[in-house]
Amino acid sequence: MLTMTVSAPCGDLTGNVRDGVLQVYNIDYASARPFAPSSPVSDGPHVGIKREEPEQELVLTVTAPQPAETPFEDAAKFPILLWIHGGRYEFGHPSEPWTDATSFAKNGIVTISLGYRKNLGGFWRDGKDETYRAVDDIFLALDWVLRNAPAFGGDTSQVTVSGQSAGAGLALAVSSDPRANGKIHRIIAMSPAFSLLSGSPMRRAMAGLGIGSRPSTAAFAHASAAAVDRAQRLVAAVSPSDPAVGPRFESFSPKLPTLITCTSEEFFAERAVETLDRLPTKNWFARRYAKGHGAVGAFPAAAYGQRPCGFVISDSAIRSSAVKVAERTAAAGHDVWAAQFEPGKGLGYAPAGRTSGAPHCIDLARFFGRERNHPFHQVAVDFVKTGSTRLPKYNGTRQVTAWAGADDLTTERVVEDAWEAPRQLFGS
């Protein structure tokens, strides 16, 4: 195995080199006691030459083009892609194999994938005026990036923050925070998932039952790990179709050029959703579900057809956020591009295996170039490098690029107001 060491402000960083790409895994950027603020770690050398699977939190992984004979500082500057992993704000880590950023590095991009605290430890707050610990963690990671990415050839004047699902929700929330001003320059948000009722009285009550006292940051900090885990499980039990914790959509404020995507069948393939859509009462259930999950407009029965439960669950959780991001970003005068993944020919990569459908997470392999011939990867590369894409803008016309199918069998068309149903049902 070929290794390479880069001298960065934080210390010497040693990683793997393969096919012209340098990867340094699991670099500690911060430390924290449970429920306490995080703080930067001391400078020092780090050897990250193996991909480790445990879900480490306050670490990051760097994937960069291997330098030539000249040091990085003297080489051409590469734009930076800051990747925030998803996982319902409950699981995931920055070195997941299917989010390997090798293809981005081969296209001249430095990718830094970061971890953050999850569950109640990352997303509890005593009052609405406080920030989440996880968001504070991410800003420490951003500080690390701005300080150390130039050692890998990264251009800190070209930083794109990106994420999928919960990671997209965090990317949007972080980019809206005043602390991001001038540090982040554009956003790629894929299937953004926010929590509808995070911090609600019911969920706070469940958290209190878990630790046996009134829930607070101080109470959690003094509770046992078993009690905190019990509290998290109780909160999750009352939120089966909504992330138990995490930022709400209200945390988003459009400030930057944005590429926003989702799928047409986010949760269609979930067994419980398929079962609901086989019931004779499926339309009644879908209407009731919509009312309980933020519906403000008429139920789009014709658009939802024979899968009303699949559509309403997917739209309340994902597509309604995607269209709101697009609408509000355009209204604020920023450029926005929108795209949707649809079922078609060929097999894509999803958590449950290869599929011709368009389930949640079908976008990840395409974004990272694992489906070598899918157009989304090159669109993302162009956006990270230039802040623009070849796709038509959503602004004014509500045009959404629809990609159907997988790999080199993908077809592309442009659909006006493709997100009309979620826009009308859940508002914009």
- What is the phi/psi pair of residue 125, to 5°? -150, 145
Assign residue 153 a region (left: φ > 0; alpha: ψ between -120 and 50; beta: otherwise): left
| Predicted model pTM | 0.95
Domains and CATH numbers, the chain: 2-426 (3.40.50.1820)
pLDDT tens readout for residues 21-80: 999 999 999 999 999 999 999 999 999 987 666 668 999 999 999 976 555 555 569 999
Q: How far apart are CA 278 and CA 203, in angstroms?
A: 31
pLDDT tens readout for residues 166-222: 999 999 999 999 999 999 999 999 999 999 999 999 999 999 999 999 999 999 999
pLDDT tens readout for residues 109-154: 999 999 999 999 999 999 888 999 999 999 999 999 999 999 999 9
What number of other Cβ atoms are within 10 A of residue 360's Cβ?
25
Q: How far apart are CA 262 and CA 260, in angstroms?
A: 7
- Using the predicted structure, report yes or no on whether residue 246 has a pLDDT greater than 80: yes
pLDDT tens readout for residues 359-399: 999 999 999 999 989 999 999 999 999 999 999 999 999 99
3-state secondary structure 118-149: CHHHHHCCCCCCCCCHHHHHHHHHHHHHHHHH
Q: How far apart are CA 183 and CA 42, in angstroms?
A: 23
